[in-house]
């Protein structure tokens, strides 16, 4: 089981396969989540502001997985379970497809062939998405646990996306935590700030 980039969301039907470029593979955000996890992972002293200089070059895939395991130690078991979930979904989808009364036998066969062609792609994309949300959830837990008031990051699309995901995690928790996400300029740099209220 591994993490690797596969691509945008596939839209599969009996007519063919197309890709929704607006639904990017969550793999591209894993490095950003990892940088934020590393930024909040240290001892804290009251009334002190901490800065972390993110590595802009990223990791190779093996390094990314190794570093992710530091923060998500049961990642292998998690990925295996997620693989079983998506395999079950694909089987269920094929069973429903076979029972369809609106598609002809040729259309059913074409649809199933298209699903089989993208089988590994679908599984990898689902695992990437699951690991991304697992890491985001871990980041949300760290923000709660360490009682972090705010995170400021460069206003890059990936940081903004990840911080939006963190907002959702904090709001959906057992004890919802309200947050505020602001974009502002400071010293001619555009920044994004997630404030935990």
- Looking at residue 57, what is its pLDDT? 58
Residue 118 has pLDDT above 90, yes or no: yes
- 43 class by beta-carbon count within 10 Å (0-12 exposed, 13-18 middle, 19+ buried): exposed
84-115 confidence digits (pLDDT tens): 999 999 999 999 999 999 999 999 999 999 99
Residue 152 has pLDDT above 60, yes or no: yes
> pLDDT category, 41, cuts 50, 70, 90?
confident
List C-alpha distances in Å: 78 to 28, 72, 134, 144, 156: 19, 9, 9, 22, 29
Residue 53 has pLDDT above 80, yes or no: no
In DSSP terms, 182 is beta-bridged to 193
Residue 47 has pLDDT above 80, yes or no: no
Residue 63 has pLDDT above 60, yes or no: yes
Alpha-carbon distance of 107 to 116, in angstroms, equals: 14
Alpha-carbon distance of 69 to 131, in angstroms, equals: 11
Tell me the average pLDDT across 34-48: 80
Tell me the average pLDDT across 187-191: 93
- Looking at residue 17, what is its pLDDT? 97
- Looking at residue 174, what is its pLDDT? 81
Q: Which has more confidence, 47 or 75?
A: 75
Tell me the average pLDDT across 138-153: 92
């Amino acid at each position: 089981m591994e993490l690797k980039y596969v691509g945008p969301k596939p839209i599969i039907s009996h007519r063919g396969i197309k890709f929704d470029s607006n639904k990017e593979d969550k793999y591209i955000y894993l490095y950003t989540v990892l940088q934020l996890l590393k930024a909040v992972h240290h001892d804290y002293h009251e009334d002190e502001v901490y800065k972390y200089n993110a590595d802009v070059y990223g990791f190779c895939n093996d390094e990314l997985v190794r570093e992710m395991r530091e923060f998500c130690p049961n990642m292998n078991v998690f990925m295996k379970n997620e693989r079983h979930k998506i395999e079950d979904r694909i089987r269920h989808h094929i069973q429903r497809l076979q029972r369809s009364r609106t598609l002809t036998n040729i259309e059913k066969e074409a649809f199933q062939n298209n699903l089989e062609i993208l089988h590994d792609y679908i599984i990898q994309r689902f695992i990437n998405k699951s690991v991304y949300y697992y890491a985001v959830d871990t980041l949300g837990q760290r923000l709660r646990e360490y009682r972090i008031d705010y995170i400021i990051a460069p206003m890059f699309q990936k940081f903004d996306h990840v911080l939006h995901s963190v907002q959702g995690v904090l709001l959906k928790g057992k004890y919802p935590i309200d947050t505020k996400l602001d974009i502002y300029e400071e010293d001619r740099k555009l920044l994004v700030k997630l404030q935990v209220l």
